[in-house]
């Protein structure tokens, strides 16, 4: 696990200072080692850099790694879980290795198969390969987007990095992107290919860049070609259940390969409990498990994690979070995302990562279980929408919605039944906006028009709407694809990567395995959601290994009462961000509209946590980036 950086300048200059500065900004991603490659030519200069967190081949796995003739160079961030199998196949073809690292396996695969080799990799990765023989640069990102990759191209240079902060060692800080900003206020995060900055993009998952240094041409190509239409399978439920169990156990085993100590995040929910069980079963020693609890008992579920820990006989580590411990870390956590990010569960994820890193270097997580096995309420809401809109005329719905919505107003950050019913009501839709409403956590489109001064056409919304409308809303495959394209890459994986790497901890997600993803996409919908039970086949595959009904208990997740904090601990800072002079000089928000929302929230007239928390996060980011 590492971080990578790179600069290609279209003139002959020294890039030594630049690449070292880029590396120094991401020491937290790789405190164990660093490496650089620099080359100056008559008409261009290139530098590759990396920071390393030593997990596999600690002694000889330093980077960059070179081909035998020194003509091809690679820097790599991530883990390749099938590298030993691939290495053995290459050795059978009389290809020899100097190290035991997965990085060298990627390089040797490329030398033999070219860019077609990228599809052979099972893992999480972002890597760059400089091939001097053909004057080309290749930069690739994994299937799900577990590892980040930002890039920027202008007339003088092409720059890429694992984190946005490194880009600014080579590129002047640009203007705010209207597209990125509107996506943030709708979703609470910014999915690829957009960022908060004009001229800086994220490489989308399952893609690679081919950059021709001679022509300065940049092409983006897919690694795997994904089918958009679900192919129904006639497999029996019992057979599917056995395959599900085997695939998950196999994935956990492959992701437990490490030359350092390993543990698991154990929240007590379905996904983390199953991963912890599989790891404990597959290795000879007692595993370490890590969980967090909350002083606020509404959010605390440590009793469930203790049940699992006792069941699998793990060395259990528990941290009870106090409000002050989160607030004290707030700036550190939020600013490390480098752009606005408002998933409040990132705060708790950072603290459990920080605690875990004191004991182990690698942790397996349950991330991806909901996306792969259809475990979110939004998946169920999608099915409800189809039935509701087929029974209730749109005219009647539009008449009763405002009345019902008023009855469901909440006045504090309590995400109970009333909150959930209102979310369902707001998501119901009769046209192409349906997908978009389901995944929008913050402001709806009509609300954004009142929020922001700039009212121009937003190409990013068009881009994602067109992408989402490619998928049939009559089955779960469409919802799962939306999760993969938008919320998994833009939210969940960003949260885990930045918070864990800030603590120099590597997190691996066994559910994010292409074989599992492909298999679940062939299953009938009622194998995934059955009579209201989400992730049905996953629960059925493992229910015999847990106490009766344990896997059927609801899970709260890492809920953090940030809406209440804005009325209390953070109130003074929050109000300062709505100062009339500050807002008017900023020139982004309509003062009267935003001040009314803030007033209603602070005075308990209507809870607006999912609007006010992203506003707070954006303003904190803006002040730190543009005013400090």
> Which residues are catalytically annotated?
2
User: Cα torsion at 351, 357, 359, 365 (round to 10°)?
Assistant: 80
- Widest CA span of the chain, in angstroms? 73
Residue (of 142, 144, 143, 114) closest to 129 by Cα position: 114
Distance, in Å, from the CA atom of 135 to the CA atom of 7, rounded to the nearest integer, reads 15
182 token code pair: 């509107």
Distance, in Å, from the CA atom of 477 to the CA atom of 8, rounded to the nearest integer, reads 40
- Check: CB of residue 57 under 8 Å from CB of residue 32: no
Residue (of 479, 612, 485, 491) closest to 558 by Cα position: 491
CA 163 distance to own-chain centroid: 13
Distance, in Å, from the CA atom of 83 to the CA atom of 103, rounded to the nearest integer, reads 9
Distance, in Å, from the CA atom of 266 to the CA atom of 596, rounded to the nearest integer, reads 41
Residue (of 189, 185, 190, 194) closest to 590 by Cα position: 185
- Check: CB of residue 282 under 8 Å from CB of residue 246: no
Residue (of 544, 542, 509) closest to 274 by Cα position: 542
CA distances from 8 to 19, 60, 528 (A): 10, 27, 47
- Check: CB of residue 495 under 8 Å from CB of residue 349: yes
Distance, in Å, from the CA atom of 142 to the CA atom of 216, rounded to the nearest integer, reads 24
Crossing angle of helices 591-602 and 609-622, in 10° steps, is 120
- CB neighbour burial string for 71-101, b if at least 16 within 10 angstroms, e if fewer: ebbbbbbbbbbbbeebbeebeeeeeeeebbb
Q: How many residues does the chain have?
A: 628
Tell me the β-bridge partners of 317.
Answer: 290
């Amino acid at each position: 696990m590492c971080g990578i950086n790179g600069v290609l300048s279209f003139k002959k200059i020294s890039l030594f200072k630049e690449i070292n500065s880029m590396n120094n900004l991401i020491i937290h991603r790789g405190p164990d080692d660093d490496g650089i490659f620099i080359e100056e030519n008559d008409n261009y200069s290139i530098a590759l850099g990396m920071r390393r967190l030593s997990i596999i081949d600690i002694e000889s796995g330093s980077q960059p790694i070179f081909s035998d003739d020194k003509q091809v160079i690679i820097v790599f961030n991530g883990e390749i879980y099938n590298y030993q199998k691939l290495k053995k196949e290459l050795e059978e073809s009389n290809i020899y290795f100097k190290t035991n690292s997965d990085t060298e396996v990627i390089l040797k695969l490329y030398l033999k198969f070219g860019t077609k080799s990228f599809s052979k990799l099972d893992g999480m990765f972002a890597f760059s390969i400089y091939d001097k023989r053909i004057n080309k640069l290749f930069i690739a990102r994994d299937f799900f987007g577990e590892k980040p990759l930002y890039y920027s191209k202008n007339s003088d240079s092409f720059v890429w990095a694992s984190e946005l902060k490194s880009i600014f060692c080579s590129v002047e800080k640009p203007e705010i992107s209207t597209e990125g900003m509107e996506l943030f206020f709708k979703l609470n995060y910014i999915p690829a290919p957009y960022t908060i900055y004009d001229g800086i993009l994220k490489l989308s998952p399952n893609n690679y860049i081919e950059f021709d240094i001679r022509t300065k041409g940049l092409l983006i190509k897919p690694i795997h070609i994904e089918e958009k239409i679900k192919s129904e399978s006639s497999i029996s439920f019992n057979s599917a259940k056995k395959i599900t169990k085997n695939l998950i156990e196999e994935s956990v085993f492959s992701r437990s390969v490490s030359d350092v100590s390993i543990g698991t995040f154990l929240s007590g929910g379905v996904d983390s409990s199953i991963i912890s069980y599989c790891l404990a079963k597959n290795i000879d020693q007692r595993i370490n498990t890590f969980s967090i609890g909350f002083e606020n008992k509404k959010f605390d579920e440590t009793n469930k994690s203790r049940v699992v820990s006792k069941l699998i006989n793990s060395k259990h580590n528990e941290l009870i979070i106090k409000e002050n411990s989160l607030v004290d870390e707030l700036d550190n956590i939020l600013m490390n995302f480098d752009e606005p990010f408002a998933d409040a569960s990132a705060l708790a994820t950072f603290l459990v990562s920080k605690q875990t890193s004191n004991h182990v270097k690698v942790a397996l997580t349950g991330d991806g279980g909901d996306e792969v096995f259809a475990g979110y309420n939004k998946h169920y809401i999608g099915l409800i929408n189809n039935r509701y809109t087929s029974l209730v005329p749109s005219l009647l719905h539009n008449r009763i919605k405002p009345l019902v919505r008023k009855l469901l107003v909440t006045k504090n950050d309590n995400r109970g039944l009333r909150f959930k019913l209102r979310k369902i009501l707001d998501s119901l839709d009769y046209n192409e906006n349906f997908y978009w409403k389901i995944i929008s956590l913050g402001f709806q489109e009509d609300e954004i028009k009142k929020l922001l001064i700039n009212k121009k056409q937003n190409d990013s919304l068009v881009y994602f709407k067109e992408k989402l409308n490619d998928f049939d809303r009559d089955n779960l495959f469409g919802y799962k694809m939306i999760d993969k394209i938008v919320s998994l890459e833009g939210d969940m994986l960003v949260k885990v990567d930045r918070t864990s790497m800030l603590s120099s901890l590597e997190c691996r997600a066994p559910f994010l395995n292409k074989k599992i993803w492909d298999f679940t996409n062939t299953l009938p919908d009622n194998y995934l959601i059955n009579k209201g039970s989400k992730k049905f086949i996953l629960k059925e595959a493992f229910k015999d290994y847990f106490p009766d009904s344990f896997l059927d208990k609801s899970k709260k997740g890492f809920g953090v009462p940030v809406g209440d904090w804005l009325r209390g601990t953070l109130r003074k800072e929050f109000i300062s961000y709505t100062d009339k002079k500050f807002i008017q000089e900023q020139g982004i928000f309509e003062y009267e509209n935003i001040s009314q929302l803030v007033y209603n929230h602070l005075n308990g007239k209507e809870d607006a946590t999912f609007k006010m928390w992203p506003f707070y996060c954006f303003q904190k980011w803006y002040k730190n980036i543009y005013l400090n």
